[in-house]
Chain A
Amino acid sequence: MEPYIGKRLLRRPWLSGLSLVLSGVLAFLLCFLSGYRQQQELRLQETRESFEIECVVTDLRGSKSSSLLLDGEYADFVLAEEGLAPYIRDLRLVKEFRYSYEPPTENTAGYDLLGVNCEAAIPAGAPGQESACVLLREDFFERDEDWVLVPERLYRELEGETLTVYVMDPAAYRPQYGGKKGLGEISFTVVGWVPGGGETLYCSYSTARRLMDSLSGKQTVDAISFHAAHNDELDALQRAAGRKFSRVQPNATSRISSIKPALTVYDEQYRATLAALEQNIARTGRLLPAIALLSLGAGFLICFLATRGEGKSYALMRTLGMTQGRMLGSVMLEQLLIPLLISAAVGAALGRPGPAAVSLGFHALGALAAAVKHVCVSPNAILRSQE
Chain B
Amino acid sequence: MEILKAEDLSFSYQNKYQTVHAVKHVSCGFEPGKTYAIVGKSGSGKTTLLSLLAGLELPTEGQVLFEGKSTRELDCDAYRRDDAAVIYQSYNLFPLLTAEENVLYPLKLKKVPRAEARDRAKKELLAVGIEEGEFSRFPAQLSGGQQQRVAIARALAAGNRIILADEPTGNLDISNGEQVVEILLRLAREEGRCVIVITHDMEIAGMMDRIYTMRDGELLCGE
Contact = CB atoms under 8 A, between A and B. Distances in A.
Interface of A: 3-4, 7-8, 11-12, 312-313, 316, 318-323, 378-380, 382-383, 386-387
9 contacts: A4-B101, A8-B97, A318-B77, A321-B77, A321-B80, A323-B77, A378-B56, A386-B89, A386-B166
B77 A313 contact: no
A196 to B, nearest CB: 82
Contact of B106 (A321, A379, A382): A321
Contacts of A318: 77
B59 to A, nearest CB: 13
A12 B96 contact: yes
Contact of A380 (B51, B90, B96, B106): B51
B159 to A, nearest CB: 12
B88 A386 contact: yes
B80 A320 contact: yes
Interface string B89-122: 1101011110001001110110000000000000
Closest 8 CB pairs of A and B: A321-B81, A380-B56, A3-B108, A321-B80, A11-B96, A323-B77, A320-B106, A321-B77
A386 B96 contact: no
A321 B96 contact: no
A386 B109 contact: no
B56 A320 contact: no
Contact of A321 (B78, B92, B94, B101): B78
Contacts of B48: 387
A319 B86 contact: yes
Contact of A8 (B77, B92, B96): B96
A173 B81 CA distance: 112
A322 B54 CA distance: 14
Nearest to B76: A379
A3 B56 contact: no
Contacts, number: 73
Interface range on chain B (Cβ under 8 Å from partner) = 20 to 34
Interface of B: 47-48, 50-51, 54, 56-57, 76-82, 86, 88-90, 92, 94-97, 101, 104-106, 108-109, 158, 166-167
B57 A380 contact: yes
Contacts of B56: 319, 378-380, 383
B52 to A, nearest CB: 10
Nearest to A325: B77
Given A383-B51, A383-B56, A386-B47, A3 B80 contact: no
Contacts of B86: 319, 383
Contacts of A12: 96
Contact of B47 (A11, A321, A383): A383
Nearest to B52: A380
Contacts of B77: 318, 321-323, 379
A7 B102 CA distance: 12
Contacts of B101: 4, 7
A313 B94 contact: yes
Contact of A386 (B57, B97, B158, B167): B167
Nearest to B138: A11
A321 B94 CA distance: 15
Which of A4, A312, A321, A379 has the most chain B CB atoms closer than 10 A to its own CB?
Answer: A321
Contacts of A321: 77-82, 106, 109
Contacts of B47: 383, 386-387
Given A321-B77, A386-B47, A3 B167 contact: no
Nearest to B155: A320
Given A386-B166, A387-B47, A7 B96 contact: yes
A313 B95 contact: yes
A9 B170 CA distance: 33
Nearest to A1: B108
A322 B105 CA distance: 11
Nearest to B78: A321
A322 B109 contact: yes
B111 to A, nearest CB: 10
A312 B139 CA distance: 14
B132 to A, nearest CB: 19
Given A3-B108, A4-B96, A386-B166, 17 more contacts: A3-B109, A4-B97, A4-B105, A312-B92, A313-B94, A313-B95, A316-B92, A320-B109, A322-B81, A323-B77, A378-B56, A379-B77, A380-B56, A383-B56, A386-B90, A386-B167, A387-B48
